[in-house]
């Protein structure tokens, strides 16, 4: 692939984990709106819960997550009290609707002490009705793991453990402030597997400072040796205007768009050669894994955690800064933990902003999700789902195809498809349908 092409398509664009994206949420959607939306939701809607733990015992300089470093446990204990209160408040409003999936993210949920993991499990089981086959996934910092915590998470019912690896090269680890040996990571993976956690995901980053094709290849080789069921190969998002600690990253040693592209391609080809199926933009799954199967049968989704097999009708966000999605729109809790805790402990909903979807948003959201997950959409399916919106979006598809000098898309009036050549630029293709995107918007990360 030539350098000019990559550079021309490296302009910042959203990752489309929602549409519209979170910067378009506003305070016009508040706790009152959320209460109304919850009360209007279908009684048989299935639920997915996302719980956010915004604490870590280290601060990795590359990190773009909503978290803060804590050296004592007290802030975590105080936060958990508020989280329990929110679970009770929201659970009471949701009646007997069944929870099909739970995701614990952060930050580092593995900061929780074993007895707090048990208490959280009890609060959730008291607040919500769980489906028998509920999937429970946990983001794991291997650095936090101990035998008692492993036992507690096994009691919690974790079915998938997702480990942050990033890069195993010691030089890279030093300059991103994330020291983590392969041995510690392998032991953490083995600890979860030994307790019956059936599915393992590893997160790897490319595009980090000081990272080269060689360091990435060595990391991916080590990752493959652990035979995870899934691998996420994320492009490092360098957004120091949003995350001030990223200023500690040596920008002079950041790979440019061309080098990032080469790293992403190399990682992908190594994983594919090792038997993994490429899923969307940045995921890889063993063929027997449910994510590869969801890709094959068209049931893959994209939400705030990235690609997911979770198709629940309502995503309920719990904890500071958590985002939820209801049929009516998006809601986001207040981000500051002190304010979140004050509101939650008072027994109130802590939503601070959100977005109410209209039919044209829903149609564009569906179409963008189809492009991000399956690299295309069917015109007939668009017309069936959104009869009032289809002609406008299909005219847009025609305009995009007519101006497609780089041969990124194919469009025959029935099927819109991103070509093999266009796949690395899928975010840029999806962005052509984004009615909110200002072309000079610099708030997002580089597109490849």
Residue nearest to ligand SAM (CB): 164
- Interface residues toward ligand SF4, by CB under 6 A: 56, 58-60, 63, 65, 67, 106-108, 141, 164
Provide, rounded to whole angstroms, the least separation between the CB of residue 164 and ligand SAM: 2
Which of 101, 231, 237, 437 binds ligand SAM (CB under 6 A)? It is 237
Tell me the site size for ligand SAM, rule CB under 6 A: 18
- Cβ atoms of 317 and 333 within 8 Å: the answer is yes
- Cβ atoms of 55 and 68 within 8 Å: the answer is yes
Provide, rounded to whole angstroms, the least separation between the CB of residue 396 and ligand SF4: 37
Segment contacting ligand SAM by CB under 6 A, of 36-44, 55-63, 254-262, 418-426: 55-63
| The entry of ligand SF4, ligand SAM, none that residue 59 binds, CB within 5 to 8 Å by partner kind | ligand SF4
Segment contacting ligand SAM by CB under 6 A, of 87-95, 103-111, 126-134, 343-351: 103-111
Show contacts with ligand SAM in window 65-94 (CB under 6 A): 65
Burial code of 220-241, b = ≥16 C-beta within 10 A, e = fewer? bebbbebebbbbbbbbbbbeee
Provide, rounded to whole angstroms, the least separation between the CB of residue 137 and ligand SAM: 11
Provide, rounded to whole angstroms, the least separation between the CB of residue 134 and ligand SAM: 21
Provide, rounded to whole angstroms, the least separation between the CB of residue 177 and ligand SF4: 8
* Residue 423 CB burial class (10 angstroms; 0-12, 13-18, ≥19): middle
| The entry of ligand SAM, ligand SF4, none that residue 259 binds, CB within 5 to 8 Å by partner kind | none
Which of 20, 91, 106, 267 binds ligand SAM (CB under 6 A)? It is 106
Segment contacting ligand SAM by CB under 6 A, of 41-49, 56-64, 211-219, 339-347: 56-64
Segment contacting ligand SAM by CB under 6 A, of 22-30, 57-65, 275-283, 293-301: 57-65
Which of 80, 99, 101, 205 binds ligand SAM (CB under 6 A)? It is 205
Q: How far is CA 60 from the centre of its chain?
A: 18
Show contacts with ligand SAM in window 122-181 (CB under 6 A): 139, 141, 164, 166
Q: Is 234 in the site for ligand SAM (CB under 6 A)?
A: yes
| Distance from C-alpha of 124 to C-alpha of 111, rounded to nearest angstrom | 18
Identify any residues that bridge with 56 across adjacent strands, giving them in sequence order: 69
Show contacts with ligand SAM in window 309-338 (CB under 6 A): none
| Closest C-alpha to 10, from 371, 280, 255, 279 | 255
Provide, rounded to whole angstroms, the least separation between the CB of residue 388 and ligand SAM: 37
Provide, rounded to whole angstroms, the least separation between the CB of residue 144 and ligand SAM: 8
Provide, rounded to whole angstroms, the least separation between the CB of residue 281 and ligand SAM: 12
Provide, rounded to whole angstroms, the least separation between the CB of residue 30 and ligand SF4: 28
Choice between 65 and 226, CB closer to ligand SF4: 65
* Binding region for ligand SAM (CB under 6 A): 56, 62-65, 105-108, 139, 141, 164, 166, 203, 205, 234, 236-237
């Amino acid at each position: 692939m030539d350098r000019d092409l990559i550079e021309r398509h490296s302009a910042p664009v959203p990752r489309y984990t929602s549409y519209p994206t979170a910067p378009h949420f506003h305070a016009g959607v508040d706790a009152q709106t959320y209460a109304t939306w919850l009360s209007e939701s279908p009684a048989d809607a299935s639920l997915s819960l996302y719980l956010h733990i915004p604490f870590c015992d280290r601060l990795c300089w590359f990190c773009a997550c909503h978290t803060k470093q804590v050296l004592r446990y007290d802030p975590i204990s105080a936060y958990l009290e508020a989280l329990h209160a929110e679970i009770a408040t929201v659970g009471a409003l949701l009646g007997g609707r069944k929870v099909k999936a739970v995701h614990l993210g952060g930050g580092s949920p593995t900061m929780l002490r074993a007895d707090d993991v048990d208490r959280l499990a009890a609060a959730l089981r008291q607040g919500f009705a769980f489906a028998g086959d509920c999937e429970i996934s946990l983001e794991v910092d291997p650095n936090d793991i101990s035998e008692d915590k492993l036992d507690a998470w096994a009691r919690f019912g974790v079915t998938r453990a997702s480990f942050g690896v990033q890069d195993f090269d010691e030089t890279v680890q030093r300059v991103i402030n994330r020291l983590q040996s392969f041995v510690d990571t392998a032991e953490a993976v083995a600890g979860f597997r030994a307790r019956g956690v059936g599915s393992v995901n590893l997160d790897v980053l490319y595009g980090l400072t000081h990272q080269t094709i060689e360091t990435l290849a060595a990391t991916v080789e080590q990752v493959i040796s652990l035979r995870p069921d899934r691998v996420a190969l994320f492009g490092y998002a360098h957004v120091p205007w949003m995350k001030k600690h990223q200023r500690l990253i040596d920008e002079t040693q950041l790979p440019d768009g061309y080098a990032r592209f080469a790293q992403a391609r190399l990682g992908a080809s190594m994983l594919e050669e090792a038997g993994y199926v490429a899923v969307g933009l940045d995921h890889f799954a063993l063929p027997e894994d449910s994510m590869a199967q969801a890709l094959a049968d068209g049931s893959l989704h994209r939400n705030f955690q990235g690609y997911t097999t979770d198709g629940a009708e309502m995503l309920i966000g719990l904890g500071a800064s958590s985002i939820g999605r209801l049929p009516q729109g998006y809601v986001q809790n207040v981000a500051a933990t002190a304010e979140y805790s004050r509101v939650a402990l008072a027994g109130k909903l802590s939503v601070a902003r959100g977005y109410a979807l209209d039919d044209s948003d829903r149609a564009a959201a569906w179409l963008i999700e189809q492009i991000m997950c399956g690299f295309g959409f069917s015109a007939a399916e668009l017309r069936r789902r959104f009869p009032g919106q289809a002609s406008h979006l299909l005219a847009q598809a025609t305009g995009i195809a007519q101006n497609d000098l780089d041969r990124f898309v194919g469009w025959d009036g029935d099927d819109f498809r991103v070509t093999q050549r266009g796949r690395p630029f899928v975010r840029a293709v999806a962005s052509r349908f984004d009615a909110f995107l200002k072309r000079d918007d610099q708030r997002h990360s580089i597109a490849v």
